[in-house]
Chain A
Amino acid sequence: MKRVYSIRTHGNPTLALRSLFASWLEQKVVQALLVPVRQAPSAVVMQTLVSDPEELDYADPLAPVAFSNAAALLSSITHHSAGARLGAVVRSCDIRAFVERIKLHQGSRDNLLLVGFDCLGRFENQEYLKLCNKYDDLTTEFYRAATPGIDGIEITRACRACVFPVAPHADINICLFGTNLWEEIRLEAATAAGVSALEALSLPLVGESPERGAVIESMVSERKAYRDALLSEYRARAGSVPGFVRLTAACVNCYNCRVACPVCHCRECVFCTDLFLHDGSRLLGRAKRHGALRMPTDTLLYHLTRMVHVGALCVGCGQCSSACPNGVDVVGMFLSAGAATQGRFDYVPGRSLEEKQPMTVFCEDELADVTG
C-alpha cells in the first residue's frame, strides 16, 4: 500500500507545505484542515481548523513548538461527526494520545485524513517565544541547525527522551528525515485514503529516501540512551518517599498538569468534586491527627492517583511539565511510572487501535504472582 510522492520545496519547506494544504482545500480533498498556524501578530503557534485556503498564509506546520497536545482537539472535531471529511497535521505524540482517546470512545478515526510528520521535537513555550524575538523565521533556523537546538537552547527533555519520532497510524507521513529539505519533501501515503489524497494532486511518484531508515534508527538509539539516563537519574532523585515529597513540594494543586495531559480523560476529575472540598473542621481534625497539615492538601494522593489512572496510557509528550507553574518534574514522574506500568502489562500507548487498555481487560490465567 505504501506509496511515496515528492514535492519540491525551492528552499522553503513551510511554503511548499502551505501550498500542498491549500490544494487539498481547493480540491475538496478535505473540507477543513487542523494545522498549526501562527496567531499573527503574536509568534504563538496554535492548531487552527482552516477551511479557506487563503487562511493558510500563516500556517507554520513545522514550527518547533506545541502549546498543547492535539489529541483533545482531534477528539473534539471527531467525537460527534462534523458530517464532512476533515484533515489534521499533527505530531507522533498527538496521534498516539488520540489513539488512546479513540479506545475510550472520545474520538473517531472515521472521515479523518491524518497527516503526521517526522518530528524533531519542540521547545518549551517560553523559550520558543524568546527565540522568536531574535529570529524572524525560527522554523527554518531550527531545521538548518545540525542538532535540534538553537543558541544552546535544547528541545524539551520529553522530546529528547521520545523514541517515536515517526507518527504511527497516519494516512500520510511528511518525511523530513533523510532528504534535503531545501530541495524536496517526500510524502509517504500509508493507507488507501492517503494514496487518494495525494493522487488527487498528480504528484510525481518516487521511492522512499534511501537514508531515512538509517537516520530514524540512529535518532531512536540516541533517544533511548537519553531516556534511560533520564529514568535512572529520576529514580535516584525521586524513587523514595522523601525524594517524592521533595519532587512535589512546590505543587499548588492547580491541576494544570492534568488539564494539559491528553490522556487524562475523565469528564469530571474526582479531585475537583466535593470529596476533596474539605471544611474547616475536617481540616482541623486532620491537622490534629498528624500534628500538621500541608495546604493545599492531598497533593501526594493526587499524583499517586494520576499515576495509577493514566500512567499506563502516558505517551510522554511532556505537556504536563510544560504546563506546571512551579517547575515540578511531572514528566519525569510519568516517564518513570509509564515505563513501570506499561512494562508490567506489555502495553504501548498508541501502538495499536485494537489492543485493549490494560485496565479494561483481564484474563482468567494471568498475574499469578500477585496473589502470592
Chain B
Amino acid sequence: MSASDFEPTIVGFLCNWCPFTAVDLAGSLTRAKSPNFRLIRVVCSGTVDPKFVLQSFLEGADGVFIGGCWPGDCHYIHGNLKARRRVALLTEVLGQVGIEKERLWLRWIAASESARFVEMVEEMTRQLRVLGPCALARRPRGISP
C-alpha cells in the first residue's frame, strides 16, 4: 500500500469535561468528524487504562489520541497528570515492539479550543499517513491478538 492511498484509523479517548466540550461546542462536532477518528468519551483522561490503548492498537488502530484537560483544570484534580505518566510509560513499552511514539498522542484541550482540536486530528492523520499502517494492527496473516 503506498502512503497516498493509506487512510489511518485513530482511536480517540476524550475526557468528558474540557476536550469533549470542545468537540461538541458550536457544531464543531460536524467539523471534527474526521473519517479517520473514532471517538470514545471517557470520564477523565486519567481513566484511560493502558489496556484500552494496547487493545486499540491490537484491534486495528494506527494511532491513539488521548485528550485531557489542561493541568489545573482537571475535574478530578490530577487525573490528567496521572495520564501523562501512564502515556510516558506506554510509549516506552510500545517502543519495545517498534511502535513509533508518534502513534500515541496525549494533548491538553480546553473547552474553547475546538479549532485547535480539529487541527490536531488533521496533523496526526498526516503524520500517520507518512508512517503507514501500524504493524500491531496489521499483523502477519493468522496472528491475532
Contacts and interface: CB of A to CB of B under 8 A. Distances in A.
A116 interface: no
Contacts of A341: 89, 92-93
Given A300-B145, A308-B50, A372-B107, A362 B85 contact: yes
Contacts of A240: 97-98, 135
A215 interface: no
A333 B97 CA distance: 10
Given A301-B58, A304-B97, A341-B93, A294 B84 contact: no
Contact of B139 (A239, A241, A312, A345): A241
Interface string B98-119: 1100000111100000000000
B84 A370 contact: yes
A242 B88 contact: no
A305 B51 contact: yes
Given A292-B142, A297-B145, A370 B135 contact: no
A53 interface: no
A336 interface: yes
B93 A301 contact: no
Interface string A165-192: 0000000000000000000000000000
Nearest to A240: B98
Given A301-B55, A301-B58, A364-B71, A307 B96 contact: yes
B142 A305 contact: no
B57 to A, nearest CB: 9
Contacts of A366: 84
Nearest to A304: B54
A287 B143 CA distance: 11
Contacts of B92: 311, 337, 340-341, 344
A241 B144 contact: no
Given A241-B97, A241-B135, A372 B105 contact: yes
Nearest to A244: B97
Contacts of B32: none
A362 B89 CA distance: 12
A366 B71 CA distance: 11
A293 interface: yes
Contacts of B135: 240-242
Nearest to B57: A304
A214 to B, nearest CB: 35
Interface string A284-300: 00110011111001111
Contacts of A84: none
A32 B85 CA distance: 42
A302 B138 CA distance: 18
Contact of A293 (B51, B81, B88, B144): B144
A290 B81 CA distance: 36
Interface string B117-145: 00000000000000000011001111111
A298 B55 CA distance: 9
A370 B54 contact: no
Given A241-B139, A290-B144, A367 B84 contact: yes
B96 A371 contact: no
Interface string A356-372: 00110111101100111
Contact of B88 (A311, A337, A344): A344
B112 to A, nearest CB: 18
B41 interface: no
Interface string A210-243: 0000000000000000000000000000111111
A298 B145 contact: yes
A103 B97 CA distance: 30
B140 A308 contact: no
A300 B58 contact: yes
Contacts of A370: 84, 87-88, 91, 106
Contacts of A292: 141-142, 144
B50 A340 contact: no
A358 B85 contact: yes
Contact of B84 (A245, A337, A371): A371
Interface in B27-48: none
Interface string A339-353: 011001100000000
Given A301-B51, A301-B145, A305-B54, A362 B96 contact: no
6 contacts: A286-B144, A292-B141, A300-B145, A305-B50, A311-B93, A370-B106
Interface of A: 238-245, 270, 286-287, 290-294, 297-301, 304-305, 307-309, 311-312, 333, 336-337, 340-341, 344-345, 358-359, 361-364, 366-367, 370-372
